Amino acid sequence: MKTDSPFHYSQFFKTVGIFNDLFSSCEYPWEVLPKISDFISDFKNTNYAAEYKQISENVFVGRNVTIDDTARIKGSAIIGHNSTIGHAAFLRGDVLVGENVNVGHATEVKHSTILGDTALAHLNYIGDSIVGSNCNISGGATLANWRFDRQNVVIKNGEERIPTNMEKMGSIIGDKTFIGVSAVINPGTVLACESLVFPLISVKGTYLSKTTLK
């Protein structure tokens, strides 16, 4: 896919840091998700591994990472430098966390990628999603990942339909997006950089330019 395609990952994420090899191998950004597990398994063989400490099988943490005693990591993960995994947070099913990320109180991150300088405030659910840099996911907001009819998630852009071939797939959230308190972002939603989602609303669809949703 050409880099000027509206669905190329560079249209949503200015930088993906140490995850560049993972993203550059994909045509669409959501194709990152099935490849996370293998990427983490191979991480110890990369040039970045020397800066990370392996604290359990396939769990790697960078410098100055804080993991609260009440937090739990189930499965594999990479947690970037200066990030915080807060009280009662739960990371499961292969998770990538960039640098300077805050995963707040009682937030669950399942099989997702969170890029640098982003805050997941508290009481969030982030399922099978990619969240860009410098985003804020406010308290109680949910990135849902499973359709009611249990059909595979399809990306809808006008009349265009792009199959993901995934039963569980959440959202693609572009850099510098702010999602308000208790908003629900439905499966297959795509939000461009610098989008603004007001509190307490339900969002679905594709928005390829900076958008305010209320």
Q: pLDDT tens across 54-79, in order?
A: 999 999 999 999 999 999 999 999 99
**pLDDT, averaged across the chain:** 96
Q: Is residue 167 part of a domain?
A: yes
Residue 103 carries which side chain, given as an amino acid letter?
A: V
| Residue 134 predicted with pLDDT over 90 | yes
Go through 110-146 and write b for each residue having 16 or more CB atoms within 10 A of its CB, e for each that does not. bbbbbbbbbbbbbbbbbbbbbbbbbbbbbbbbbbbbe
Q: pLDDT band at residue 172, thresholds of 50, 70 and 90?
A: very high
Q: Is residue 40 part of a domain?
A: yes
Q: Is residue 2 part of a domain?
A: no
CA-closest candidate to residue 201, choices 135, 140, 148: 140
Q: Is residue 194 part of a domain?
A: yes
pLDDT of the residue at 4: 73
The span from the CA of 154 to the CA of 159, in Å, is: 12
Q: Taking residues 19-47, report their average pLDDT.
A: 96
Q: What CA–CA distances, in Å, run from 47 to 25, 43, 52, 151, 159?
A: 18, 9, 10, 40, 43
Domain that holds residue 84: 9-213
4 alpha carbon, distance to own chain's centre: 22
**Helix, strand, or coil (residue 40):** helix
Q: Is residue 152 part of a domain?
A: yes
pLDDT tens string 145-160 = 999 999 999 999 999 9
Q: Kindly tell me the burial class for residue 175, based on how many C-beta atoms sit within 10 Å of its own C-beta (0-12, 13-18, 19 or more).
A: buried
Q: Is residue 100 part of a domain?
A: yes
Q: Is residue 1 part of a domain?
A: no
Total structural domains within the chain: 1
Q: What is the CATH number of the domain that holds 142?
A: 2.160.10.10
pLDDT tens string 117-129 = 999 999 999 999 9
pTM above 0.95, yes or no: yes
Q: Taking residues 110-123, report their average pLDDT.
A: 98
Q: Is residue 192 part of a domain?
A: yes
